[in-house]
Amino acid sequence: MHILIIGAAGMIGRKLTSALLKSGQVGGKAISKFTLTDVVEPAKIDFNGDVATVVSDVSLPGEATKLIAARPDLIFHLAAIVSGEAEADFDKGYRINMDGMRFLLEAIRQEGVKAPYLPRLVFTSSIAVFGAPFPEAIGDEFFNTPLTSYGTQKAICELLLNDYSRKGFVDGVGIRLPTITIRPGKPNAAASGFFSNILREPLVGQEAVLPVSKDVRHWFASPRAAIGFLTHAAELDTSKLGWRRTLSVPGLSTTVGEEIEALRRVAGDKAVNLIKDVPDQKIISMVAGWPRNFDAKRAIGLGFKAEQSFDEIIRIHIEDELGGKIGG
Amino acid sequence: MHILIIGAAGMIGRKLTSALLKSGQVGGKAISKFTLTDVVEPAKIDFNGDVATVVSDVSLPGEATKLIAARPDLIFHLAAIVSGEAEADFDKGYRINMDGMRFLLEAIRQEGVKAPYLPRLVFTSSIAVFGAPFPEAIGDEFFNTPLTSYGTQKAICELLLNDYSRKGFVDGVGIRLPTITIRPGKPNAAASGFFSNILREPLVGQEAVLPVSKDVRHWFASPRAAIGFLTHAAELDTSKLGWRRTLSVPGLSTTVGEEIEALRRVAGDKAVNLIKDVPDQKIISMVAGWPRNFDAKRAIGLGFKAEQSFDEIIRIHIEDELGGKIGG
């Protein structure tokens, strides 16, 4: 099995690559080849098989065609710019988050014209396809009314994924990731970054800024859970999806205050005292339009799994990123 | 006020032009100029003011830019290929029904970079953005799960219209037209054509083919109502729409059998006997995925109006198309 990962140099891309290297298989089929691509050179990997690392921007015409010419069996499309950047740079958002997906789908379809070809395509959508006002928990049939350009772009990709799958051009599965917390590494341009920052930084003795009120409720899953969603989506029996190919996956609905209390239980008052309240009106109003809770029945019925508590999410970060130890 | 009509040579485009010529104003503002465009030359009009008729395909790069350079105040975007054709020709459907809208929105946005510009854009979406299974009546918050490429393309246009409106690039209003019945003229490639054919042809003594069962229920409005939706959308206070810029407009939910009984009341058994049952499996399965009934609360609250009976729809056809007389 040949796997193509688009967006392989990103946080999720790297973790996904590691997980696939470790398991060596997807759905019982041995992995024979990896093609790792991103706009920057993906890291070399230690794999007893064929590996290609390719610097490519699939949002540029012709790039997806080159990647698909090798006829990968399984494609993960993770490449995107985040919500804050897509809102600030309208052209770039549509190019990367929408045109990239369309070029990819078209490249797959055109490859299928040459000889039958129906790869599994796993696409990372987002809960930003939903916009306020929300019900208590967003069900599987709630409508898409995105309030950001990023959410609009992801909603369009979902529609394209459904149509290309329905027409038999691709075997698509989309997953609407919860906000991935705790994101390792440095803060990025995502307006949602603070949900991670207020835990990650204090866990290593650094200050962090909280731009919103503690009663803000949001929807979370760990990076480890995200990788589980992606590999599960790769193995899923898609005949169970019908033509609604994108799923809201399970997650944990919790408030910032509860996040902080979990931090206190795991790392004590010292860590919590490193969080500084610095209200940011721009972030406060963006967050007000974000989903807070889901009833992810379809995905749960299909075997997707997430964390049950924020203590668990923090422990996963300590295990996976901090070698099991709290610093500071 | 300068009005641009894209798709001016089509049935709705011609009727809309006539209605605007007759009223001479939109929202109390006198019309000073018409630009009528389509892929074929729109008919000349008799107007005491500036008129430009332009042959143009807005789905080709650069064409929308040329049209928007004249900074029309009000734009009707009616150009599309119908569901049957979009399903048969995948490339053409995406080019005309999706790229055309995107080029238009981009042209408007880029014109606004030169100097402030915020035209009203009235866009004809479709009930094909919805896919089965359906509730008894589709409410304003039902989700979009199109089961055709046409419906997918229209759903994408709705998302773009919302986002461009939210960003302040255009003042958009979308309306999801019911199936327009009785369509005058010759049958077109729309799979929904038979809903009109079985009335229009017998009214002039011609045979017509019914490809589905009489208990098929569907959602209708007359061409006259459609023009009313468009002019009302042009005058609407869009601050009442929020960022959900597309509305399911009111219509009439009725079965094919009820259509035929209305024909009998208006034109007698002789007309009804001209309808021949010729089941067509392809049309039967397409129709099975189409909406049947709506609860169009939002649009009704905003003053949109449709017919209350099929007798009324048939009478409108006789008045507007047959000079008040039944032929045959």
Listed as own residue / partner, the contacts of B32-35 with beta carbons closer than 8 Å and 24 or more positions apart are B32/B1, B32/B2, B33/B1, B33/B2, B33/B3, B33/B72, B34/B2, B34/B3, B34/B5, B35/B2, B35/B3, B35/B4, B35/B5, B35/B67, B35/B70, B35/B72
What residue type is B232 in one-letter code? H
Question: How high is the mean pLDDT of chain B?
Answer: 96
Please write the tens of the pLDDT for every residue from A113-166.
999 999 999 999 999 999 999 999 999 999 999 999 999 999 999 999 999 999
Q: Do A143 and B145 touch (CB under 8 A)?
A: no
Amino acid A328: pLDDT: 52
Question: What's the CA gap between A204 and B67, in Å, rounded?
Answer: 58
Q: Do B143 and A141 touch (CB under 8 A)?
A: yes
CB atoms inside a 10 Å sphere around CB A318 = 17
Amino acid B327: pLDDT: 65
Buried/exposed code over A160-177 (b: 16+ C-beta within 10 A; e: otherwise): bbbbbbbeebbbbbbbbb
Residue A39 clears pLDDT 90, i.e. is over it: yes
Please write the tens of the pLDDT for every residue from B118-168.
999 999 999 999 998 999 999 999 999 999 999 999 999 999 999 999 999
CA A206 to chain centre: 26
CATH of the domain at A98: 3.40.50.720
Q: Which domain holds residue B137?
A: 2-179+220-248
Amino acid B185: pLDDT: 87
What average pLDDT does this structure show over B51-68? 97
Question: What's the CA gap between B86 and A149, in Å, rounded?
Answer: 27
Q: What is the interface size between A and B, counted as CB pairs within 8 Å?
A: 51
Give Cα separations from B146 to A113, A162, A199, A243, B24 (angstroms).
24, 9, 41, 9, 38
Burial class (CB in 10 A: 0-12, 13-18, 19+), A308: exposed
Q: What secondary structure letter does DSSP report for B290? A: S
CA distance B141 to chain A (A): 6
Query: What is the band of A327 on the pLDDT scale with cuts at 50, 70, 90?
Result: low
A90 touching B, CB under 8 A? yes
Closest by Cα among A146, A159, A268 to B165: A146
Please write the tens of the pLDDT for every residue from B167-201.
999 999 999 999 999 999 887 767 889 999 999 99
CA closest to A149 among chain B residues: B163
B141 contacts in A (CB within 8 Å)? 143
β A252-255/A217-221 pair status = antiparallel
Q: Look at residue A321 and tell me if it is in a domain.
A: no
Residue A171 main-chain phi, psi, to 5 deg: -110, 85
Q: Look at residue B304 and tell me if it is in a domain.
A: no
Q: Look at residue A241 and tell me if it is in a domain.
A: yes
CB atoms inside a 10 Å sphere around CB A288 = 11
Amino acid A290: pLDDT: 86
Q: Look at residue B200 and tell me if it is in a domain.
A: no
Amino acid B328: pLDDT: 52
Q: Do A159 and B156 touch (CB under 8 A)?
A: yes
- Residue B109 tokens read as 């946005």
Query: Which residues does residue B179 pair with via DSSP β-bridges, in sequence order?
Result: B220
CA distance B142 to chain A (A): 6
Question: What's the CA gap between B323 and A266, in Å, rounded?
Answer: 82
Residue A16, CB half-sphere, CA atoms under 13 Å: how many? Answer: 33
Domain count, chain A: 1
Q: Establish whether B150 is a catalytic residue.
A: yes
CA distance B256 to chain A (A): 28
